[in-house]
């Protein structure tokens, strides 16, 4: 058995039209760049996907996580795609490339990253979830259900290999600290933290023998840039079966279109709608937020797939419900809780407004 690393690195380098979807020329360019890297032996395999206006580079390789070469390849690819986007005058060309130069690791430069290194099992089913018009905290609820909720995941009860439960690694993105909480023992403590999706984010989930089950991107652009620059449309990798959630157990949480932040200008709450790849073009009020699920069987690092896992009529009801919730939320217009609370907007438009009206505020 040899170690393999799966890296998913994504960026919005230009939207078509507005923030709705992906121009095919960007996907072509990314395919060319990654194909050359595979030929050179840097990548074992790759797949270029898109969700809404986000370009998603799915790569397998032997370089481990945080590899300068792999992050550099992603940066070069996004830079090259930005050139194409600029020529086409796509919207927000280079939006997520917040820094001018690559300095060894792509984290903190704008793109979203999630990676895991593991021994490929006898059979290695993997799902890569990609979302648009939302933010990393959106994975907290589904990850909790997949790995800790026996009403979602039957295996927690009936599969001896899962019965011990899982360990959740949670980041406090404001204090830059992390904590490991074990389920089912610390389930209530875990929920206290991860229910605050804007601050505490599940970064990874491990089996108690240390085997990794899931990793999520947790980058927040506004914390990098100090202002609103687009939302941090996140990605999530989940390994499935044989002591980990079955594929169907990993997909099941998305049958409930929970409310997430990130709709319209990154400033509104809306339902996360699970859709087929061809429906990941959020247009109504730039949304509602979307999630796609790409299933792969890894075969010696080769990505067999993808299978478009939400392209299934059994998710029609979730989509219908999401539309109903979308109407209900939209009816609130500029009022909370459709519009995000001030604490979240603090990183976006609120500071400028406060400054503008500073002198107009009089003692009451
Ligand atoms: P495993 O074979 O991974 O134990 O899963 C059983 C199954 O098929 C669940 O639906
Ligand atoms: P993105 O974060 O997907 O670019 O969307 C930004 C936006 O403002 C949508 O209304
Ligand atoms: Mg965009
Ligand atoms: Mg986007």
Cβ < 6 A, ligand 1 pocket? 159, 241-242, 246, 248
Per the annotation, the verdict on 220 as an active-site residue is no
pLDDT at 326: 98
pLDDT at 226: 61
Answer whether residue 345 shows pLDDT above 80: no
pLDDT band, very low/low/confident/very high, at 19 (cuts 50, 70, 90): very high
Higher per-residue pLDDT: 159 or 350:
159
pLDDT digits (tens, 9 = 90+) for 266-301: 889 999 999 999 999 999 999 999 999 999 999 999
Q: Is any atom of ligand 2 closer than 6 Å to the C-beta of 96?
A: no
pLDDT at 336: 96
Answer whether residue 347 shows pLDDT above 60: no
Probe target for ligand 2 pocket from 54, 221, 224, 286, with the most ligand atoms within 8 Å of CB:
286
Closest residue by CA, ligand 2 atom 8:
265
pLDDT band, very low/low/confident/very high, at 309 (cuts 50, 70, 90): very high
The 3 state secondary structure assigned to the chain is: CCEEEEEEEEECCCEECCCCECCHHHHHHHHHHHHHHHHCCCCCEEEEEEECCEEEEEEEECCCCCCHHHHHHHHHHHHHHHHHHHHCCCECCCCCCCCCCCCCCCCCCCCEEEEEEEECCCCEEEEEEEEECCCHHHHHHHHHHHHHCCCCCCHHHHCCCCCCCEEEEEEECCCCEEEEEEECCCHHHHHHHHCCCCCEEEEEEEECCCCEEEEECCCCHHHHHCCCCCCCCCEEEEECCCCCCCHHHHHHHHHCCCEEEEHHHHCEEEECEECCHHHCCCCECCECCEEEEEEEEEECCEEEEEEECCCCHHHHHHHHHHHHHHHHHHCCCCCCCCECCHHHHCCCCHHHHHHHCHHHCCCC
Closest residue by CA, ligand 2 atom 3:
133
Query: 49 near 307, Cβ under 8 Å?
Result: no
pLDDT at 30: 98
Answer whether residue 241 shows pLDDT above 80: yes
pLDDT band, very low/low/confident/very high, at 225 (cuts 50, 70, 90): low
Probe target for ligand 2 pocket from 231, 291, 338, 345, with the most ligand atoms within 8 Å of CB:
231
pLDDT digits (tens, 9 = 90+) for 134-175: 999 999 999 999 999 999 999 999 999 999 999 999 999 888
Per the annotation, the verdict on 231 as an active-site residue is yes
Per the annotation, the verdict on 96 as an active-site residue is no
pLDDT at 98: 78
pLDDT at 273: 98
At how many degrees (to 10) do helices 187-194 and 140-148 cross? 170
Which tokens is 70 given? 């792999």
Of all residues in the chain, the percent with pLDDT exceeding 70 is: 96
In angstroms and rounded to an integer, the radius of gyration of the C-alpha atoms of the chain is 20
How far is residue 355's CA from residue 350's CA, in Å, rounded to a whole number? 9
Q: Which residue has the tokens 């890569």?
A: 128
Average pLDDT over residues 52-76: 98
pLDDT digits (tens, 9 = 90+) for 172-186: 988 889 999 999 999
């Amino acid at each position: 058995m040899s170690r393999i690393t799966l890296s998913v690195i994504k960026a919005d380098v230009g939207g078509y039209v507005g923030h709705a979807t992906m121009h095919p020329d960007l996907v072509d360019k990314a395919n060319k760049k990654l194909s050359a890297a595979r030929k050179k032996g840097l990548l074992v395999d790759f797949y270029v996907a898109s969700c809404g206006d986000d370009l998603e580079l799915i790569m397998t390789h032997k370089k481990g996580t945080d590899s300068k070469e792999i992050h550099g390849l992603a940066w070069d690819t996004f830079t090259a795609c930005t050139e194409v986007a600029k020529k086409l005058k796509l919207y927000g060309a280079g939006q997520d490339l917040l820094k001018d130069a690559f300095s060894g690791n792509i984290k903190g430069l704008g793109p979203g990253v999630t990676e895991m290194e593991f021994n490929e099992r006898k059979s290695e089913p993997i799902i890569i979830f990609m979302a648009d018009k939302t933010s990393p905290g959106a994975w907290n609820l589904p990850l909790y259900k997949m790995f800790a909720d026996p009403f979602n995941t039957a295996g927690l009860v009936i599969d001896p290999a899962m019965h011990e439960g899982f360990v959740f690694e949670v980041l406090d993105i404001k204090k830059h600290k992390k904590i490991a909480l074990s389920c089912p023992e610390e389930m209530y403590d875990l929920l206290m933290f991860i229910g605050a999706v804007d601050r505490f984010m599940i970064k990874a989930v491990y089996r108690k023998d240390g085997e990794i089950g899931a990793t999520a991107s947790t980058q927040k652009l506004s914390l990098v840039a100090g202002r609103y620059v687009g939302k941090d449309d996140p990605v999530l990798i989940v390994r499935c079966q044989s002591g980990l959630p079955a594929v169907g157990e990993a997909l099941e949480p998305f049958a409930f279109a929970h409310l997430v932040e990130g709709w319209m200008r990154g400033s509104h709450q809306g339902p996360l709608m699970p859709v087929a790849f061809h429906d990941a073009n959020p247009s109504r009020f730039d949304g509602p937020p979307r999630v796609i699920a790409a299933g792969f069987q890894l075969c010696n690092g080769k990505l067999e797939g993808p299978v478009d896992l939400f392209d299934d009529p059994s998710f029609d009801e979730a989509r219908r419900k999401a539309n109903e919730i979308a109407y209900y939320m939209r009816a609130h217009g500029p009022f909370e809780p459709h519009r995000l609370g001030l604490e979240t907007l603090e990183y976006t438009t609120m500071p400028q407004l406060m400054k503008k009206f500073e002198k107009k505020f009089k003692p009451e």
